[in-house]
Amino acid sequence: MAKVLNRKTILVTGGAGFIGSNFIRHELESYDDVVIVNLDKLTYAGNLENLKDIEKKYGLASLNLKPKTQDLRPDLRYFFVKGDICDRNLADSLLSGKYFKDKEVGQGTHDARLMTPDSIVNFAAESHVDRSILDAVPFIDTNIKGTQVLLEAARIHWQNLGSGTRDLIPNVFLHISTDEVYGSLGKTGEFTETSPLLPNSPYSASKAAADLLCRSYYKAYNLPIILTRSSNNYGPYQFPEKLIPLMIKNALERKELPVYGEGLNVRDWLYVEDNCRAIDLVLRKGNIGEIYNIGGENEIENIKVVKLICKILGEKAAGDSRLDELIKFINDPRGKAHDFRYALDCSKIKKDLGWKPVSKFEEGLKITIDWYLSNRNWVKKVVTGEYQEYYKKIYT
């Protein structure tokens, strides 16, 4: 039993989204002693399709938790909970173990204490800049209020823990932030972890607010907080409202490829698996109270990204060398909120934790394009009526 109790139980919020689902897969496939509780509201961006393989391999395969069957499945290490991070009762119930006790999962092989998270990795967020400009309200609710609910629940629960075996596993509240909180750069320079926060969109402002709440909970209550701020991720399971998957989808459908302004804005692309490795390292070895920048070292102008996608797709699948004729420069829907360039100084995570990105952009992009080509049904499934409405608002 002692061995079992030494398992690491992570409450991952927003685990049905792009980075969260990749992170859950990374953790469960890399470690035998990790248990994941995935709390996700399943907004338009969250999709259980992203974790179908994981549910089958490590989960109960349904939301109907069946008390007796878990004894047959000692490998049961993944639990999905549909819910909102703004729901304080639910957060309390998950952090105290009550949630699973009530569902009688805490019987037999799977002691309820196993499902009591010792760490939280907070991915849950409204994450798309364009949507935040259309309507900031859900960004304030989830990104700011939701983060505060989790911080408060963690504070109350972790402060009230008595001494026991579980306390041997240190608590960590890892909040996933973004390089966008630093605002925009000109042609040169890099942000360090101590650069001022100068967000320009409701999305980045809500993320910056959450970062400051995290800081205050560390200072005021000594809550064991760590923050990561990463650059633009790309890879499998990214919702096709973001630049790379949107361009792949549209090119395959021979639709216009809408490039904002002249396409000269620069992003630093980070392959999602490189980010998952970094987050894992920060969770296990990061210093409490610290912030870690995570960049891809792949700075490139948007127009070059889009042309590269056209070239790779033309070679691989479309049998069409003129896909770039679909490119259409459109009025920038972000206006002054469109950050020109992001670039991160990542010397801290490299020096302190020995991490560095390993994926070269063109290689990562080819893998990503292959994934979208093999998973056209996934794209069809996640693109709902809501997506069509949103698309019309931004692009027509």
Could you give the CA distance from residue 35 to residue 336 in angstroms, rounded to a whole number? 44
Q: 298: which residues sit within 8 A by CB, 6+ positions away?
A: 268, 269, 270, 357, 360, 361, 364
Where are any strands of DSSP class E within 231-344? 232-234, 257-260, 266-271, 291-294, 299-301, 327-330
Q: Of residues 22, 127, 275, 359, which one binds ligand DAU by CB under 6 A?
A: 127
Tell me how far, at minimum, the Cβ of 116 lies from ligand NAD, in Å: 19
The yes or no reply on residue 327 touching ligand NAD (CB under 6 A) is no
Could you give the CA distance from residue 226 to residue 4 in angstroms, rounded to a whole number? 26
Tell me how far, at minimum, the Cβ of 237 lies from ligand NAD, in Å: 8
Judged by beta carbon distances under 5 to 8 A according to partner kind, the member of ligand NAD, ligand DAU, none in contact with residue 243 is ligand DAU
Q: Of residues 8, 128, 131, 166, which one binds ligand DAU by CB under 6 A?
A: 128
Place of tokens 């690491």: 8
Q: 71: which residues sit within 8 A by CB, 6+ positions away?
A: 107, 108, 109
Q: Of residues 8, 37, 46, 313, which one binds ligand NAD by CB under 6 A?
A: 46
Place of tokens 């030494």: 6
Following CA atoms 244, 249, 251, 254 in sequence, which dihedral angle do they give, to the nearest 10 degrees? -160
The yes or no reply on residue 272 touching ligand DAU (CB under 6 A) is no
Main-chain dihedrals φ then ψ at residue 316, nearest 5 degrees: -80, -45
- Strand, helix or coil for residue 370: helix
Q: Of residues 179, 211, 274, 280, which one binds ligand DAU by CB under 6 A?
A: 179
The yes or no reply on residue 342 touching ligand NAD (CB under 6 A) is no
Q: How many residues bind ligand DAU (CB under 6 A)?
A: 18
Instruction: Kindly write out the interface string for residues 236-255 of this chain, putting x where it contacts ligand NAD by CB under 6 A and - elsewhere.
Output: ---x----------------
The yes or no reply on residue 265 touching ligand DAU (CB under 6 A) is yes
The yes or no reply on residue 365 touching ligand DAU (CB under 6 A) is no
Could you give the CA distance from residue 20 to residue 22 in angstroms, rounded to a whole number? 5
Q: For residues 298 and 230, is the Cβ–Cβ distance under 8 A? A: no
Q: Please, which residue, 157 or 267, has the CB nearer to ligand DAU? A: 267
Q: Of residues 34, 37, 125, 129, which one binds ligand NAD by CB under 6 A?
A: 125
Which positions from 186 through 225 interact with ligand NAD, judged by CB under 6 A? 207
Give the largest Cα separation in the chain, rounded: 66
The yes or no reply on residue 84 touching ligand NAD (CB under 6 A) is yes
Q: Of residues 78, 99, 173, 342, which one binds ligand DAU by CB under 6 A?
A: 342
Q: What region, left, alpha or beta, does residue 95 occupy, with left being phi > 0 and alpha being psi -120 to 50 degrees?
A: alpha
Main-chain dihedrals φ then ψ at residue 300, nearest 5 degrees: -155, 145
* Neighbour-count burial of 293, counting CB atoms closer than 10 A to its CB (0-12 exposed, 13-18 middle, 19+ buried): buried
Could you give the CA distance from residue 243 to residue 193 in angstroms, rounded to a whole number? 26
Q: Of residues 11, 19, 308, 326, which one binds ligand NAD by CB under 6 A?
A: 19
Between the two ends of the chain, the Cα-to-Cα distance in Å is 60
The yes or no reply on residue 232 touching ligand DAU (CB under 6 A) is yes
Judged by beta carbon distances under 5 to 8 A according to partner kind, the member of ligand NAD, ligand DAU, none in contact with residue 302 is ligand DAU
**Catalytic residue positions?**
179-180, 203
Judged by beta carbon distances under 5 to 8 A according to partner kind, the member of ligand DAU, ligand NAD, none in contact with residue 267 is ligand DAU
The yes or no reply on residue 13 touching ligand DAU (CB under 6 A) is no
Judged by beta carbon distances under 5 to 8 A according to partner kind, the member of ligand NAD, ligand DAU, none in contact with residue 364 is none
Residues that bind ligand NAD (CB under 6 A): 13-14, 16-20, 39-43, 45-46, 84-86, 123-125, 127, 142, 146, 176, 178, 207, 230, 232-233, 239
Interface positions with ligand DAU (CB under 6 A) = 127-129, 178-180, 231-232, 242-243, 246, 258-260, 265, 267, 302, 342
